Structure 1
């Protein structure tokens, strides 16, 4: 009985230590990483703290997408943009909506078609993801 209590205490300590290390490794204000199959991504950038945190993480992701609307006075960031990413074979590997103007995506090396839609206007871009390189695409729609 005493041995089980000691084992439980050790297990809880390991879990709490791991959680604390993970929390320390994540920049403050960074949205949580999402998963779709083997693809991991994060999306956000609403507010200056979250925007700054995401910008600091861009170098850790092979693909960065940014979404804006062109106005008479400049560009306004957009959120809730439907995004679909297909591989070279046409298979959809990610189908989601953004939670802010930035989307950082970890994809295996290859060519992908990124389709984003705002107010019924669909924009497609072909991107290449390669080891050690970073692809960045800016999608701008007239408002």
Structure 2
């Protein structure tokens, strides 16, 4: 039995195959690097949530996806000049109208957190160090709601990360 391809044509195919393999490896590496920007989605007590916003790419992602989630929380600490620093490492607790904890002491991975809360009214606590802020949040049917937590200048940031708001 004779081969339809001569040895010279198979030797010409080797560089093409090697280039295709290198391209596939490079594409896989770039895809992995892009996926690292997306924060993971977690679930606790049946509620999905995602937190992030460290770095401009991740902050942009969180701002883009925020309207698609029923609840959004933002965290910042005012500085002495009147502007604010984004805060991470914030401890979040969300209770429904009957007082049941849906998110219990969840720690934010950045200045933004989104959660898939059912329509209803919730009590949200956000804590940095020993300072806790509380807000009521009403999630309407078919729309999203946002709560912004802003601590006063001088808040102890020892247990939370910060990033300057520009």
TM-score calculated relative to the size of structure 1: 0.78
* Candidates 60, 69, 72, aligned match of 1:61: 69
Moved over 3 A (4+): none
In structure 2, the gaps of 5 or more residues are 1-30, 155-166
Aligned to 1:37: 45
Higher Rg: 2
The structural deviation recorded for 1:118 is 1.4
Aligned to 1:137: 147
In structure 1, list runs of 5 or more residues that go unmatched. 1-22
Contact 1:28 1:53 in 2 (8 A): no
2:109 is the counterpart of 1:99? yes
> Which has more strand, going by share of residues?
1
8 Å CA contact retained: 1:84, 1:116: yes
1:130 Cα deviation after fit:
1.7
Deviation at 1:27, TM superposition (A): 7.7
SS at match of 2:141: coil
Q: CA RMSD in A?
A: 1.7
Q: 1:52 to 1:27 in 2, by over 3 A?
A: farther
Offset, 1:37: 2.5
How many residues are treated as equivalent by the alignment?
A: 119
Matches within 5 A, 1:114-125: 114-125=124-135
**Contact 1:27-1:53 at 8 Å conserved across structures:** no
